[in-house]
A = this chain, B = another copy of it.
């Protein structure tokens, strides 16, 4: 068994008072700066993480598999044992989660762009000159709430030209293609059903687009819209069903809260700093046995190509770490959902350092939490989907398999 099977884990998981904290530094893994030969994590001064590594066991994880660069959805699903290829989450749903939109079962969500078209209807700017978020909100209000063939279309602004369109009604199926042609000087594509069941969805979506075209005609540069990534909320077995955990998420960014909610985690209200997140942890520590703490700053700095800022965020986390260790949880895991090297300014395929600290972890010789030190860690290199069973084992929450 290489892919952790949820049904299998379900058979051997047990509920217990022991506590697990999984701290995810988004985009943690990096690449070395030419001048120093050190990555962001290797450059940062991290006495507390190094101490945890020294007393714990380390390794490297592959979120999907070697060479594959995961988006945030797959990266996070894998961390909680959900096969990210099997449970792929569509773009529309992810955007909806990202603005805390309360998606209902059956809703079909699409990511939208306001765009510019010329008189012939050909796309001249896929982002409508990046109109302001306020303008986007105003246009969304114009289009929001339409009823088309018993389907309600709900629009919510995201940022600048971006919005989501949510189709709510009976019998909608998300298997339709994008209207966004992803190129200029062509007309938006008609939305067509990829399966017979999705005919109604395609029909409603096309009616909506035509209606929007009429309404937007005088709102140049935002005189048209493009839709892509039609998708429905996947039905994931919850972490309580599979792992018998009572899990909570502490994340300042809505998308990660939304992803966690899909897996059945309780969302805890928190602030936007690492300190605020750790304060939330402390307050709620007695009420849950599994905490997912998400730190966004590492990824954001990596995406911006800001090596030094990423170093600083890691140091900030290290500083705050005593707030976790002082709680003396049974298991602490620190890792990332993927690498985001500042040098690449994007997510990447490189494996991510992981440390696991527990009384029963069988510590290795690694004394430093870094990409290069983790190569020789006792956990070796393994798929991220196996983290959760490893953490549960260390929390004595898995029983023996077989007699």
A residues near B, CB below 8 A?
Answer: 1-5, 8, 12, 31-32, 39, 60, 64-75, 83-85, 88-91, 94-95, 229, 343-344, 346-351, 360, 362-365, 371-372, 375-383, 386, 388-394, 398-403
Contacts and interface: CB of A to CB of B under 8 A. Distances in A.
Nearest to A63: B401
Given A12-B68, A68-B389, A371 B381 contact: no
B69 A399 contact: yes
Nearest to A231: B403
Given A64-B1, A360-B344, A403 B89 contact: yes
Contact of A3 (B2, B360, B394): B2
Contact of A380 (B1, B60, B85): B60
Contact of A402 (B60, B84, B386, B398): B84
B401 A70 contact: yes
A65 B389 contact: yes
A85 B363 CA distance: 28
Contact of A347 (B343, B362, B400): B400
Contact of A2 (B2, B347, B362, B378): B2
Contacts of A344: 360
Contacts of A394: 67
A13 to B, nearest CB: 11
Contacts of A95: 403
A56 B364 CA distance: 22
B401 A71 contact: yes
8 contacts: A1-B65, A2-B65, A8-B85, A65-B386, A66-B393, A72-B403, A365-B372, A381-B382
